[in-house]
Amino acid sequence: MSLGISSILTEVLARSAGEEITSPLQIRAIEGGSINTTFHITTSRHQQWFCKINDARRFPDLFVFERQGLALLEATATIRVPKTIACEDIDRDQVLVLEWINEGLRSTSFWQNFGEQLARLHRQTRDTFGLDHDNYMGSLPQSNTPSPDWVDFFIYRRLEPQLSLAADKGLLHTRAIQQFQNLYKSLSDIFPAEPPALLHGDLWSGNFLCDEHGRPVLIDPAVYYGHRCMDLAMTTLFGGFERPFYEAYAYHYPFPPNYREQWDICNLYPLLIHLNLFGSVYLSSILHTIQRF
């Protein structure tokens, strides 16, 4: 940032925290994903916050959409999310300050509670798939234009934008795109009608925490109302969740009989996202799935 980080955060926190914030702040850079600069902030009064900073011109309203997603999840009173302290654009940068979460141990009861709470979240519904605004999946724009039909939404708001981007980058050839078009003909049979579920939207193993009391905490959402298998499928990517999570979820909201088939197809969306962001290392997984179907 062109202004000092400490002075900017002191200014932001003084406006947002509702009390005087004295300098200097203790600011420690930490790991926080691939697109944000992230910090752990401690004040002289031992208050702690988590801060993200990014370029407001490169990713317009990235943190505004994250704040809105956290608010939607929090309003359901089903699963904890960090409280938003501040969300501002300053000096061509965007700043998001969140409650700091001290982490605890992921016990069996943690996974069981996580599964039950996600099932309760997925019971939150409305008439259409999508959302009243677009947002991001990682650093890529995500269209949420509503549709009453899941298959239509999945094709035209999830797969097709990523396929077009991958084709433009030369990452997918004509034959693979034709295989996707053949897959579309089967989707109505694979996804019988289900009500739209409020989704976290990017539920891989890096986007949740266990707090010091052993409670699940969701972070970095990409929310919309979609098929619940989108969230469940993503839990199996990049490491997967523990067995008690799935058992608890299925007890409170049973899986459909062909859930494995649904999960494989749902994961085409995050795999296409990763193909477009990180390159052809993800191509074989995509081709393997579409060739199966």
Q: Which residues are catalytic?
A: 202
> How far is 112 from 228, CA to CA, in rounded Å?
18
> How far is 53 from 2, CA to CA, in rounded Å?
12
3-state secondary structure of 210: strand
What tokens were used for 44?
A: 């002289």
Q: Could you give the C-alpha distances from 207 to 63, 75, 253, in angstroms and in order?
A: 15, 19, 22
> How far is 226 from 219, CA to CA, in rounded Å?
18
Burial 253-276 (b: 16+ CB within 10 A, else e): beeeeebebbbbbbbbbbbbbbbb
